[in-house]
Amino acid sequence: MQGRSSSRLNRVGLNCSILALIAAAGVSPLPADKKVTSDWPEITEQERNLKSVPQDPDADAVILRRTRDGKQLKTPNRYIVNELDYHWRLKVLNDRGKRYGEVHIPTQKFSRVSGVEARTIKPDGTIVAVAPDQIFEKLVEKAGGFKLTELVFNFPAIEPGAILEYRYHRHVDSAVFIEPWYFAGPEFSLLSRMSQIVHEVATYRILCDKCPNPEPDTTPWKEGKDKGKLMTVEMRDIPAYRKEQLMPPLADVSPRIVFSLKALGGAEWEALNREDNLFTDWDSVAKFARYYYQRAYRVDDVAVKQIVGDWTKGVSDQTDKQRAIFRHVQEDFQYRRYDDVIAYTRSIAEILKDKTADNEEKAVLLVAALRSIGVPANIVLVVGKDKGTLYPSFFSLVQFSHVMVAVPQPDGTALWLDPTVTYSPFGFMPWKDSGAGALYITDSGSALINLPQKDEVSRTRYQVSVKSRPDGKADLEVVAEYQGDDAIEKRQELVPGSDTSRTEYLQKWLKDARPGAALRSHQLEDLEAIDKPLRIKMTIEAPELVTRADELLLVRGCVLDCEESNPISRGERQYPFYVERERIDEQTVTIVPPEGMKMSQLPSPATAKSAIGTLTSSCSTQTDGSVRCVRKFAATRGRWAASEQNGIRAMYDKIVEADRSTVAFEKTTQKGAGGGR
């Protein structure tokens, strides 16, 4: 998105209208117009001979280099575009590293991809290229007129010692937005480099967060009639950012460089009623967003009133009307997930017709609908807790992940509504919003705030009955109950689906919760009653819960979501531990003794504690001869230093031991023995 504006912009030839940008966003990313490329960067002897990473002994692969080189150019029509060249090179160290053989290149708004090339260099030096006809465009999501795709391919001839590399070109029709560059990758990186040529008409505010030098290396640049400056940031030996347990958001821990357009020479910013300067403070960011959001929801006020009349028909109470409006915006418009804020939406008429909406469009529609019944709703730009932390001195839309709505209350507080969370109850504060940094925008002003820290507890509760069978398997009757964010996440998967897809989802869940178990039946209760806990009743057939040892029958006391191995790596932790939300997981297992048998031994009670939470586990006999085992894990929301690794790992060692413990049953003719098992 270039300067959306007016006569002066058109006169100097820098205007790139929003309509043109939207059209560009729809161009197929398939590499039909293949870019002429140079030779690949040389593979060094060090790269060929590398067999392990001393800084990360457990690494499955090592990223030899990740680079992005950008260049802003003025087109013949005098638009400013950004041409980006990406290169990625990785060495496979063991069989687990073969998982990097499948590559996904996402499409993005206002850009198109071309010139994809990829190859495998085998340990003996043989080169096996990925054939162009083996690079496929895959549909990721389709809703109404919206389509999201990605390019997918697989490297051939992968084996330990092989080097995998690919490169591609991305053309971006945007001067306002330059995608942030994160220096950490999924494996240890020997080299990560970002360079960007900035045209002389553009000035950016730069955030080089956690970089060795907060300012990029900068040199003058000239190519033909185009002039500007070349900015480069290069880092070496960067720890991996892996998808491990309890990881903080990438933006909070990885070195990164972020650009925010400060000024564009010759541009007249209609939203700000001024020339050249764009984002110079938070007030300018708020004015920019307010202008384009208001333009979207004020144009179609007649259509909004008509649809809101249908939504609230027969409802007289004002709060109930707000509740009805919120529910319709949540559920009637399929959410097009886009975790950025650019202060642009389609018109309300288009949204109503298409029945889809991204995060900004949902918020604008909700504001328009609430205002149509006299409710003074306001826009709030949010840095979700899943994205990171708000930097108060970096004035930019790029910091924000989504938009929500605030309804001022008579007591000076506000009702916070996030329509992107489809199945959250009215007034519920999802974990990603609770305590998050935000820009609150009214009709006449704005303020940086922290959203209220709500004590919304997520809870998963399992009630399980276990009956062993002569064949060594066990029949389970399970009642699973979910509250808070746990219920929201389950509903997001289950509500929109067909009966078949719901069954498939539960089967996939069970595969993780109890490997090898088979789902025999299920029943959903209060699925669409989002103000109530979600309950799922299931009958399950499970192997490996029951074993025989001499004359004893041993039955596991933990059945679902048990820790079979320690999820915390032995390798030195590089990043803090992050518990995203307050949560409680409870499991009550009732073991029915087989006919002719009685309890012989109970496992010892267990308690495991660390900085992040506490587990308690105990079993007891019941008057009917059954055994009841209760397992409870409570985690506290927060962040803890990497130095807590030993204590957290020790806690999980005890949890694994507790989850593997068994209750022993013997024939009723035998005498019981003491002690724990």
Task: Tokens for 394, please give them.
Answer: 């970096």
pLDDT at 108 over 90: no
SS3 355: coil
Q: From residue 157, how far is each of 95, 98, 130, 167 by CA, in Å?
A: 12, 10, 10, 18
User: Among the listed ranges 82-91, 129-138, 651-660, 666-675, which one has the minimum average pLDDT value?
Assistant: 666-675
Question: Within 10 Å of residue 54's Cβ, how many Cβ atoms?
Answer: 7
Helix (H) or strand (E) holding 492: helix 485-494
The residue that leads in pLDDT, 140 or 9, is 140
Percent of the chain beyond pLDDT 70?
Answer: 92
Q: At CA 10, angle to CA 6 and CA 13, rounded to 5?
A: 145
For residue 566, pLDDT over 90 is answered with: yes
Q: What is the mean pLDDT of residues 312-320?
A: 96
pLDDT in tens, 458-476: 999 999 999 999 888 999 9
Each residue's pLDDT tens digit, 433-456: 999 999 999 999 999 999 999 878
pLDDT at 455: 76
To the nearest 10 degrees (0 to 180), the angle between helices 485-494 and 499-513 is 130
The yes-or-no verdict on residue 586 having pLDDT over 70 is yes
Q: What is the pLDDT of residue 139?
A: 81
Residue 296 C-alpha from the chain's centroid: 28
552 in Cβ contact with 666 (< 8 Å): yes
Residue 84 has pLDDT above 90, yes or no: yes
Helix (H) or strand (E) holding 46: helix 45-49
Q: Assign 271 a pLDDT band (cuts: 50, 70, 90).
A: very high
Rounded CA-CA distance 397/290 in Å is: 12
CA distances (Å), origin 197, targets 75, 77, 201, 229: 15, 20, 12, 6
Closest CA to 609 of 588, 583, 636: 636
The length of the chain, given as a count of residues: 677
Domains of the chain plus CATH, in order, are: 7-29+58-269 (2.60.40.3140), 281-450 (3.10.620.30), 459-667 (2.60.120.1130)
Q: What is the mean pLDDT of residues 212-237?
A: 94
Hunting for tokens 């553009």 — which residue is that? 202
For the stretch 72-79, contacts whose Cβ atoms lie closer than 8 Å and that sit 24 or more positions apart, written own/partner, are 72/175, 72/196, 72/197, 72/198, 72/199, 72/202, 72/228, 73/199, 73/223, 73/226, 74/199, 74/201, 74/225, 74/226, 77/13, 78/12, 78/13, 78/14, 79/2, 79/13, 79/14, 79/15, 79/16, 79/173
Q: Which residues have a Cβ under 8 Å from the Cβ of 644 and sit 6 or more positions away?
A: 577, 610, 611, 612
**How high is the pLDDT of residue 332?**
95
Structure confidence by residue, pLDDT tens digits, 478-507: 999 999 999 999 999 999 999 999 999 999
In 3-state terms the chain splits into helix, strand, coil percentages (rounded to 5) of: 20, 40, 40
Q: Is the pLDDT of residue 6 over 60?
A: no
Pairing verdict, β 189-199 and 226-238: antiparallel
Closest CA to 336 of 106, 493, 142, 556: 142
Q: Choose between 2 and 418: higher pLDDT.
A: 418
pLDDT per position as a tens digit, 605-643: 999 999 999 999 999 999 999 999 999 999 999 999 999
Residue 239 pLDDT grade (very low, low, confident, very high; cuts 50, 70, 90): very high
Which distant-in-sequence residues (6+ apart) come within 8 Å of 40 by Cβ? Answer: 119, 165, 167
Amino acid identity at 356: T
Contacts of 414 (CB under 8 A, 6+ apart): 406, 407, 408
- Give 25-81 pLDDT, tens digit per residue: 333 334 444 444 578 999 999 999 999 999 998 899 999 999 999 999 988 777 889
